[in-house]
Chain A
């Protein structure tokens, strides 16, 4: 502390013209997106989704063919049902699959989460393992650019993959079956695609959370696939919850009440929430997603009404909000944990 001491002012240096930085997350998202598009994973999953889409379509095609003629008559009579959307919701004829749904819609619900898990399970711990994380965060970016960029890149890749799948199915419908979608159907399909992307984003955020919290990529992959089996496979999670529901509903006084309990339990699984939204959006005649409502309306009388898409959307707003909230929650937890972690391995 001498008199001639100088203050810690910035040191005068020859001025180097530094280039303007662009937000780090954009660069990272771009790299992640490119990585995903070139990854083997994407093609494996597209193959799975493709098979998932084509197999039911193949079996349903004959039926749709004959239905198309009928539908055109109905359309002429002004009693149009959503035939184009039937591409996604129709059960193949002549095959008894028991309780398992064999529609495009059901297959997408089952397989799409894989896309999210596959793109995220090693996003952070993989970088740690490879030793690229310290190098990455020592570039002129904020630390959250890493996790934001990875999420954005993954989301873009997912949106692209799902859009391609939907376009392929639609194209098949239009070209080979000669069915044209109505405007209402197009809007429904776009909404359904958006909700599906949101659902996969939830899995992406979940996978990212795992990759932040779990040190080893193999472990986070295993946990991710375990969660997927439980939530998305109809014969595991839903079945278990169904059993619990039946036990709990034993004391219920009415059938409607018992169904209510069961549904409440099933809704603990995000897969159920998505399926409800998906069903209402793809099926204009679904007037409610509540089991007990459906039950009582069936009991009262079979009303066959067709809703415009905005009414269907209204029905599933709670489901969409719930999926969105879950996605945000997973991402926020992953974000906070990542920001607090040490950089070093």
Chain B
């Protein structure tokens, strides 16, 4: 053992002590403490601390190369962390990957199946690898297939499946082992919008019915925004924000909020005057007139908490001015905006890690 080895070992022990002392939520099924992964010179994951509880969908959001897949592989014990550690379903994936893997259903990025086999045969293989066989396995397989709505196609060869069907089969594959945790890597990438909605609805139902803990990673923020209970914003291997979308909006969102207002039978010629009228309402900072008659006015209010009052005021003013109000809607802050702002706030914009 060289001196530097010893130093590393000492550091390792110190890190482990820190890790053990850190408070954790007892209902958390996934816990990471200072989880880090370095490749030669690149830091793919940098001191990551997250917790995912049973009955919760946690979104790990970040650009390609932010370290999402590396994190997932460490959680499954498929890659050794350089430092720090994790607990998945109560087990350390670096030490006991088998116990972790039999409790975690994993949908990899761009999941693949054996093309020459049917969907059901593919799942049967997975069941066998999980120690399931015979009638018990068949029941689990049929249940999983039904759950993802693929009963009619389960006995066709996988080579005839569309990308979206493979994705759904991937979720069924992850469910066969009756997992406590689902880890989904980019579950909505390369799927048509309807397919995305179907998959996200399915996840919601699964969490509700089975009380699973779900960790999903995505770079398509707008898509997963609706389904995640909490999200972690991930950039260059670091978690730069974590919480519900609303919490993150408070933390990183714009200072102004947006309200969309539509009027019936308003001539484009009257846009300028209407904008002026709306702009004079207290709390409204600026007004964006529509570019076509089908679009609403966008009213920015500042500060954010003045929105409710401004909304009332908008309705009153419209009535007073004889404008026929057809719609009024507060626009929730988009995760895309939050993400962009979070990156700017932490000075990580434009930076990318090397590993996806």
- Whether A135 and B112, one on each chain, are in contact in the complex, defined by CB atoms closer than 8 angstroms, is yes
Interface size on A, residues (CB 8 A): 38
A41 at the interface (CB under 8 A from B): no
Distance to closest chain B CB from A232 (angstroms): 29
Which residues 91-122 of B have a CB within 8 angstroms of A?
91, 97-99, 101-104, 106, 108-115
Q: Is the CB–CB distance between A16 and B78 below 8 Å?
A: no
Instruction: Determine whether the beta carbon of B24 is less than 8 Å from that of A8.
Output: yes
How long is the Cα–Cα vector from A24 to B99 in the complex, in angstroms? 13
Interface centre among A4, A134, A136, by most chain B C-beta atoms within 10 angstroms, is A134
Q: Is A142 an interface residue (CB 8 A)?
A: yes
| Inter-chain contact A130/B18, CB cutoff 8 Å | no
> At the interface, yes or no: B43 with Cβ under 8 Å from chain A?
no
Closest-CB distance, A344 to chain B (whole angstroms): 6
Q: How far is the CA of A194 from the CA of B157 in the complex (A)?
A: 37
Taking the complex as formed, is B180 at the interface, i.e. its CB lies under 8 A from any CB of chain A?
yes
Known: A27-B128, A135-B173. A141 touches B98 (CB 8 A): yes
Instruction: Summarize A's interface: helix, strand, loop or mixed.
Output: loop
A139 to chain B, nearest CB (A): 4
Contact segment of B56-64, B129-137, B258-266: B129-137
- Least Cβ distance of B232 to chain A in Å? 19
Instruction: Name B113's closest neighbour in chain A (CB-CB).
Output: A132
The verdict on B178 contacting chain A, using a C-beta distance below 8 Å, is yes
- Whether the Cβ atoms of B113 and A344 lie closer than 8 Å is no
Of the stretches B27-35, B199-207, B306-314, the one at the interface is: B27-35
Interface residues of B in 241-265 (CB under 8 A from A): none
Q: Nearest chain B CB to A339's CB is how many angstroms away? A: 12
Of the candidates B76, B98, B132, B136, the one whose C-beta lies within 8 Å of that of A142 is B98
Contact call B26/A12, Cβ cutoff below 8 A: yes
Residues in B neighbouring A141, C-beta threshold 8 A? 98, 101, 129
**A137 at interface, CB cutoff 8 A:** yes
Residues of B within 8 A of A31 (CB): 125, 128
- Given A8-B19, A135-B173, A344-B73, verify A140-B98 contact (CB < 8 Å): yes
When the two chains form their complex, are residues B69 and A344 in contact, meaning their CB atoms are under 8 A apart?
yes
How would residues 186 to 210 of chain B score, 1 for a CB under 8 Å from any chain A CB and 0 otherwise? 0000000000000000000000000
Whole-angstrom CA separation of A131 from B122 in the bound complex: 13
User: Which residues of A sit under 8 angstroms from B22, Cβ to Cβ?
Assistant: 1, 5, 8
State A256–B69 Cα separation when bound (angstroms). 64
**Is the CB–CB distance between B19 and A131 below 8 Å?**
no
Q: Is A99 in the interface zone, CB < 8 Å from B?
A: no
A344 to B65, CA, bound (A): 13
Chain A residues in 8 Å Cβ range of B347: none
Question: Can you list the 8 inter-chain pairs with the closest CB atoms, starting with the nearest?
Answer: A131-B112, A10-B90, A19-B131, A134-B108, A140-B102, A5-B23, A139-B129, A138-B106
Chain B interface residues toward A at CB < 8 A: 18-24, 26-29, 31, 33, 69, 73, 76, 78-79, 85, 87, 89-91, 97-99, 101-104, 106, 108-115, 125-126, 128-132, 136, 170, 173, 177-178, 180, 356
Q: A11-B90, A19-B136 known; 11 other A-B pairs, CB under 8 Å? A: A1-B18, A8-B33, A12-B26, A22-B131, A130-B115, A134-B78, A135-B113, A135-B173, A139-B130, A343-B79, A344-B73
